[in-house]
Amino acid sequence: MFGPMMPYICPIMLSLFDAHGGMEALGPGATVLRGFARKRDVVLLAEIEQVSAKAPFRHMVTPGGFEMSVAMTNCGAAGWVTDRAGYRYRSDDPLSGKRWPAMPVPFLTLADEAARAAGFAGFVPDACLINRYEPGTKLSLHQDKDEASYAHPIVSVSLGLSATFQFGGPKRSDPVRRVVLEHGDVVVWGGPSRLFHHGVLTLKSGEHPMTGARRFNLTLRRALQE
Ligand code: SIN
Ligand code: FE2
């Protein structure tokens, strides 16, 4: 029984943001939602496992011929790919010739809720790029600009090892802000910062209780139609 001095925390009141929750502005239209996905981690990681059983992680090649250090796969109606022919979205996985696995419902729900919390109501992604980082891997500064329209935000979900995210501006040479993203953090950027440059610094070694020596990142996008 709970004695008079025992604190009791109602689990329902902790449902969406956990004790670490909170919002931080990263730029105009860009927000970090601390811990927003933390309570859904088991489900999200299980869905990543399911997707990658059908469409395995692979190291894609840039148009310039460099193999990317981050391993990638996709789910949804469209998947982001790169090879010697360029960056683009494809409805099929070039490894299998089959359509990408369907977008898991928990991804859709999280994308909608996170976008809404950041001020972008009605976000329905049709593409989810899944990145897998191991210590020593990084993602250089880039813009997400292969989508048909920039009217919708990007929702980015971090799971596993922490990483330092860089968020700059419209020009590659613009100054960047650095923010450490932890397991369960979600970043949303859209509107004025939709085309801002961003990247991930080289992942440091470490062990996460749920992912081992790895970080996963989901980027949910609206790639195909307005
Ligand atoms: C990306 O820009 O595609 C991924 C960002 C991240 O891993 O946090
Ligand atoms: Fe990106």
131 in Cβ contact with 52 (< 8 Å): no
Per-residue pLDDT band at 18 (split at 50, 70, 90): very low
Domain membership of residue 226 (yes or no) is no
CATH code (residue 134): 2.60.120.590
> What is the DSSP annotation of 95-147?
TTSSBPPPPPHHHHHHHHHHHHHTT-TT---SEEEEEEE-TT--EEEE----S
In a domain, 64, yes or no: yes
Q: pLDDT for 182-206, tens place per residue?
A: 999 999 999 999 999 999 999 999 9
Overall size of the chain counted in residues: 226
| DSSP H or E segment with residue 42 | helix 41-54
Residue 171 lies in a domain: yes
**Ligand 1 atom closest to Cα of 142?**
2
Q: Cα 130–209–157 angle (5° rounding)?
A: 30
Q: Which domain holds residue 210?
A: 3-221
Question: From ligand 1's centre to the CA of 132, what distance in Å?
Answer: 10
The pLDDT tens digits of the residues spanning 112-159 come to 999 999 999 999 999 999 999 999 999 999 999 999 999 999 999 999
- Measure 20 CA to ligand 2 centroid, in angstroms: 25
Is 145 among the domain residues? yes
Q: Is residue 98 situated within a structural domain? A: yes
Confidence check: pLDDT of 226 > 90: no
Number of domains in the chain: 1
Quote the pLDDT of residue 10. Answer: 40
- Encode pLDDT of 73-102 as tens digits: 999 999 999 999 999 999 999 999 999 999
Ligand 1 atom closest to Cα of residue 181: 8
Residue 14 has pLDDT above 50, yes or no: no
Residue 110 in any domain: the answer is yes
- In ligand 1, the atom with minimum distance to the C-alpha of 133 is 7
Specify the higher pLDDT residue, 35 or 20: 35
